Amino acid sequence: MRTQVGIVGCGPAGLFLAHLLHRAGIESVILESRSRADVEGTIRAGVLEHWVVELMHQMGLGERMKREGHFHTGITLQWNRQRLHLDMEELTNGKKVTVYAQHEVLKDLIAARLADGGEILFSVSGTAIRDVDTDRPFITFRRGAEGAEERLDCDYVIGADGFHGPGRQAIPASQRTEYQKIYPFGWLGILARAPLSWHELIYANQGEGFALLSTRSPEIQRMYIQCDPKDDIANWSDRRIWDQLHARLATEDGWQLQEGEIFQKGIIPLRSFVCEPMQYGRLFLAGDAAHIVPPTGAKGLNLAVADVLVLSRALEEKYRRNSSEKLERYSATVLRRIWKGERFSWYMTTMLHRNEGETPFEQRIHLADLDFVRTSRAAATALAENYVGLPFDE
């Protein structure tokens, strides 16, 4: 097999890149280790920055999102049983975010890519990236577990295959530096059939720590609470979860959280991670293969799309004008945005969670940070600008 750009990974980075390249007349093939059903069935939250929503509409991929997404002009911060509405639309000259789950985005992208005649090979195994330090890189793989080894020759290889994929490992360890922070807390997330409790996302630091209330649909609510990442989900009965949500979201005005049937729950750890550089020879990393953020700042999918938007423009310049300038500075360009996203995610995470390793002094500083957002328009604007999506600096 032969293509111009070989993409490993059928997540947001890989799919957005394939669509952007197709619009520029550049061929690509996506290789994915999971089945299509597994990719589309992995439930993940999704807060889309303003510019990502605009990009999806420009690409003709936003119709279902427009019908089913939830468009938020602000968020609510809560501490000490008091709430602060942060009017992001007013603070950022009309920008807002859209709550539309990541797996729904993937469904739309996969269907559109296949309708365009794009090639996505699902359920491949044994994927290996070869010779990226030459001008003839290739990828070997098997279709299914028992298929014969095949070879995909390409001009460039994109590792958009997540933290555990072969993409990052194809950069020699001596040529990359990895930065990581493991947080001492995780998130217990639930999906519940319950009525809408609040009109926008609530981020709370109250009681025993963090809680997040968000909406999947008018009938389905998504909620999270801070917990020990090593805890067993069996220790969390539905009643215990609801009791903690009530305690962490309670207010002085008599507002009541609406309960319902919990039909999914699980615990995820939190970490921050960055790999530098994000390119080696003809291999380029994008998305979770190169960087991970805790979900508190709602930056994961958005950073992945930013990576491939920059990368698609660089590849287009190479194929149309035979200029490698943008490709050569791809890593430096996207890392500037990534580190700002990492900073914001760390800021939101440390401000809104209870860390038993911190002193009471540090915990009070986090409450002062929240009060600073309440009393300072500059602080509120900075938070809002980061949340809706920073401008591009290429």
Give the Cα separation of 388 and 50 in Å (integer).
6
Strands 5-8 and 28-31, by their bridges, are parallel
The total of other beta-carbon atoms located within 10 Å of residue 93's CB is 8
Residues in contact with 394: Cβ distance below 8 Å, sequence separation at least 6, in sequence order: 310, 313, 326, 333
Question: Is 72 a catalytic site residue?
Answer: yes
Catalytic residue among 203, 224, 280, 330: 203
Exactly one of 299, 318, 326, 353 is catalytic; name it.
Answer: 299
Dist. CA 265–CA 223, nearest whole Å: 10
Does 203 participate in catalysis according to the annotation? yes
| Active site (annotated) includes residue 299 | yes
Q: What is the DSSP letter of 94?
A: S
- The single residue listed with the structure tokens 């805890």 is 231
Q: Could you confirm whether 172 is annotated as catalytic?
A: no
Active site residue 295: yes
Joined together, the tokens standing for residue 366 give 């986090």
* Torsion from C-alpha of 112, 118, 119, 121, nearest 10 degrees: -10
SS3 content of the chain, % helix, strand, coil (to 5): 40, 30, 30
137, 166, 294, 295: which one is catalytic? Answer: 295
Of 22, 50, 70, 72, which one is the catalytic site residue? 72
Q: CA-to-CA distance for 53 and 57, rounded, in angstroms?
A: 6
Q: Tokens at residue 112, please?
A: 């559109």
d(CA 40, CA 42): 6
Measured between alpha carbons, how far apart are the two ends of the chain, in Å?
Answer: 34
| CB-CB contact of 154 with 4 (8 Å) | yes
Q: Judging by DSSP bridges, how do beta strands 156-159 and 283-285 pair with one another?
A: parallel
Question: How would you classify residue 26: left for phi > 0, otherwise alpha for psi between -120 and 50, otherwise beta?
Answer: beta
C-alpha span between 126 and 116 (Å, rounded): 27
Which residues are the active-site residues?
Answer: 72, 203, 295, 299, 387
